[in-house]
Amino acid sequence: MLIDHNHNVQMSMNANASASNNQTGYIAWRDTPVNASQGMQNFPSYGANYFTLNGTVVTTVMPAPPAGFIREAVNFQLVNNDNATDKLIVQVTNTGNASNNTVIYAATQVTLANWVYIEEIGWKNQSAAGLSL
Protein backbone atom coordinates (compact mmCIF):
# COMPACT_ATOMS: atom_id res chain seq x y z
CA MET A 1 0.00 0.00 0.00
CA LEU A 2 1.61 3.18 -1.24
CA ILE A 3 0.09 6.68 -1.08
CA ASP A 4 1.12 10.26 -1.82
CA HIS A 5 0.26 13.46 0.07
CA ASN A 6 -3.14 13.72 -1.68
CA HIS A 7 -4.46 10.36 -0.41
CA ASN A 8 -5.05 8.34 2.75
CA VAL A 9 -5.99 4.73 3.51
CA GLN A 10 -9.42 4.04 4.95
CA MET A 11 -11.08 0.82 6.12
CA SER A 12 -14.55 -0.40 6.94
CA MET A 13 -16.44 -3.63 7.42
CA ASN A 14 -19.49 -4.88 5.55
CA ALA A 15 -21.65 -5.19 8.67
CA ASN A 16 -22.26 -3.33 11.91
CA ALA A 17 -20.42 -4.64 14.96
CA SER A 18 -21.74 -4.44 18.50
CA ALA A 19 -19.88 -1.99 20.74
CA SER A 20 -18.09 -4.80 22.60
CA ASN A 21 -17.05 -6.57 19.38
CA ASN A 22 -15.38 -3.83 17.36
CA GLN A 23 -12.43 -4.86 15.21
CA THR A 24 -9.10 -3.56 16.55
CA GLY A 25 -5.91 -3.08 14.59
CA TYR A 26 -2.48 -1.61 14.12
CA ILE A 27 -0.73 -0.16 11.06
CA ALA A 28 2.89 0.97 10.69
CA TRP A 29 4.30 2.97 7.79
CA ARG A 30 7.46 4.45 6.30
CA ASP A 31 7.67 7.96 4.78
CA THR A 32 10.29 8.36 2.06
CA PRO A 33 11.23 11.75 0.55
CA VAL A 34 10.37 11.99 -3.15
CA ASN A 35 12.70 14.78 -4.33
CA ALA A 36 15.25 15.56 -1.63
CA SER A 37 17.53 18.48 -2.45
CA GLN A 38 21.19 17.78 -2.99
CA GLY A 39 22.98 17.70 0.33
CA MET A 40 19.82 17.02 2.33
CA GLN A 41 19.63 13.86 4.34
CA ASN A 42 17.45 11.34 2.56
CA PHE A 43 16.45 9.20 5.54
CA PRO A 44 12.95 7.77 5.76
CA SER A 45 10.82 8.37 8.84
CA TYR A 46 8.36 5.97 10.44
CA GLY A 47 4.94 6.18 12.05
CA ALA A 48 2.15 3.98 13.38
CA ASN A 49 -1.50 4.05 14.36
CA TYR A 50 -3.66 1.87 16.59
CA PHE A 51 -7.30 1.96 15.49
CA THR A 52 -10.76 0.50 16.04
CA LEU A 53 -13.22 -0.19 13.23
CA ASN A 54 -16.89 0.19 14.08
CA GLY A 55 -18.67 -1.87 11.48
CA THR A 56 -19.65 0.03 8.35
CA VAL A 57 -18.19 3.39 9.50
CA VAL A 58 -15.32 4.32 7.16
CA THR A 59 -12.21 5.00 9.29
CA THR A 60 -8.93 6.63 8.23
CA VAL A 61 -6.21 4.25 9.46
CA MET A 62 -3.21 5.69 7.57
CA PRO A 63 -3.31 9.45 7.00
CA ALA A 64 -1.67 11.19 4.06
CA PRO A 65 2.07 11.93 4.36
CA PRO A 66 3.46 15.47 4.25
CA ALA A 67 3.96 17.02 0.80
CA GLY A 68 7.13 15.71 -0.84
CA PHE A 69 6.88 12.26 0.74
CA ILE A 70 5.51 8.85 -0.24
CA ARG A 71 3.94 6.79 2.59
CA GLU A 72 4.07 3.01 2.42
CA ALA A 73 2.45 0.55 4.82
CA VAL A 74 5.03 -1.90 6.16
CA ASN A 75 2.94 -3.78 8.72
CA PHE A 76 -0.78 -4.14 9.35
CA GLN A 77 -2.82 -6.34 11.67
CA LEU A 78 -6.56 -6.47 12.34
CA VAL A 79 -8.40 -8.82 14.71
CA ASN A 80 -12.05 -9.65 13.99
CA ASN A 81 -13.52 -9.52 17.51
CA ASP A 82 -17.00 -9.86 16.07
CA ASN A 83 -18.99 -13.09 16.49
CA ALA A 84 -19.70 -13.23 12.75
CA THR A 85 -17.86 -13.62 9.48
CA ASP A 86 -17.15 -10.12 8.14
CA LYS A 87 -15.67 -8.56 5.05
CA LEU A 88 -12.84 -6.02 5.37
CA ILE A 89 -12.81 -3.23 2.78
CA VAL A 90 -9.56 -1.26 2.29
CA GLN A 91 -9.66 1.83 0.11
CA VAL A 92 -7.38 4.68 -0.94
CA THR A 93 -9.26 7.98 -0.73
CA ASN A 94 -8.48 11.44 -2.09
CA THR A 95 -8.03 13.74 0.93
CA GLY A 96 -9.87 16.57 -0.86
CA ASN A 97 -12.82 14.44 -2.02
CA ALA A 98 -14.04 11.55 0.14
CA SER A 99 -16.24 10.36 -2.73
CA ASN A 100 -13.12 9.79 -4.86
CA ASN A 101 -11.85 6.43 -3.61
CA THR A 102 -10.58 3.11 -4.93
CA VAL A 103 -11.01 -0.24 -3.18
CA ILE A 104 -7.55 -1.86 -3.13
CA TYR A 105 -8.34 -4.92 -1.00
CA ALA A 106 -11.48 -6.72 0.16
CA ALA A 107 -11.57 -10.08 1.92
CA THR A 108 -13.84 -12.12 4.14
CA GLN A 109 -12.69 -13.03 7.63
CA VAL A 110 -14.16 -15.52 10.09
CA THR A 111 -14.77 -14.83 13.78
CA LEU A 112 -11.63 -14.09 15.82
CA ALA A 113 -9.36 -14.39 12.78
CA ASN A 114 -6.56 -11.93 11.96
CA TRP A 115 -5.78 -10.04 8.78
CA VAL A 116 -2.07 -9.42 8.44
CA TYR A 117 -0.10 -7.43 5.86
CA ILE A 118 3.69 -7.53 5.89
CA GLU A 119 5.79 -5.60 3.41
CA GLU A 120 7.28 -7.85 0.70
CA ILE A 121 5.11 -10.78 1.87
CA GLY A 122 1.60 -9.42 1.25
CA TRP A 123 -1.77 -10.22 2.80
CA LYS A 124 -2.56 -13.20 5.03
CA ASN A 125 -5.78 -14.23 6.70
CA GLN A 126 -5.13 -16.33 9.81
CA SER A 127 -7.42 -18.16 12.20
CA ALA A 128 -7.34 -17.48 15.94
CA ALA A 129 -5.02 -20.52 16.17
CA GLY A 130 -2.56 -18.97 13.68
CA LEU A 131 -3.50 -21.20 10.74
CA SER A 132 -3.73 -19.70 7.24
CA LEU A 133 -7.27 -19.37 5.91
In a domain, 41, yes or no: yes
pLDDT of residue 133: 63
In a domain, 131, yes or no: no
Instruction: Please tell me the distance from the alpha carbon of residue 31 to that of residue 66, in angstroms, as a whole number.
Output: 9
Angstrom CA distances, 73 to 5, 21, 36, 109, 125, stand at 14, 25, 21, 21, 17
| pLDDT single digits (tens) 47-82 | 999 998 877 788 999 999 988 889 999 999 988 777
Instruction: Please say whether the beta carbons of 30 and 11 come within 8 A.
Output: no
Instruction: Please say whether the beta carbons of 10 and 59 come within 8 A.
Output: yes
Average pLDDT value over all residues in the chain: 81
Q: Give the chain's domain count.
A: 1
| pTM for the whole structure | 0.81
Question: What type of residue sits at position 76?
Answer: F
Instruction: Please tell me the distance from the alpha carbon of residue 28 to that of residue 76, in angstroms, as a whole number.
Output: 6
In a domain, 132, yes or no: no
| pLDDT single digits (tens) 96-113 | 787 788 888 787 777 777
| Domain housing 81 | 2-126
In a domain, 113, yes or no: yes
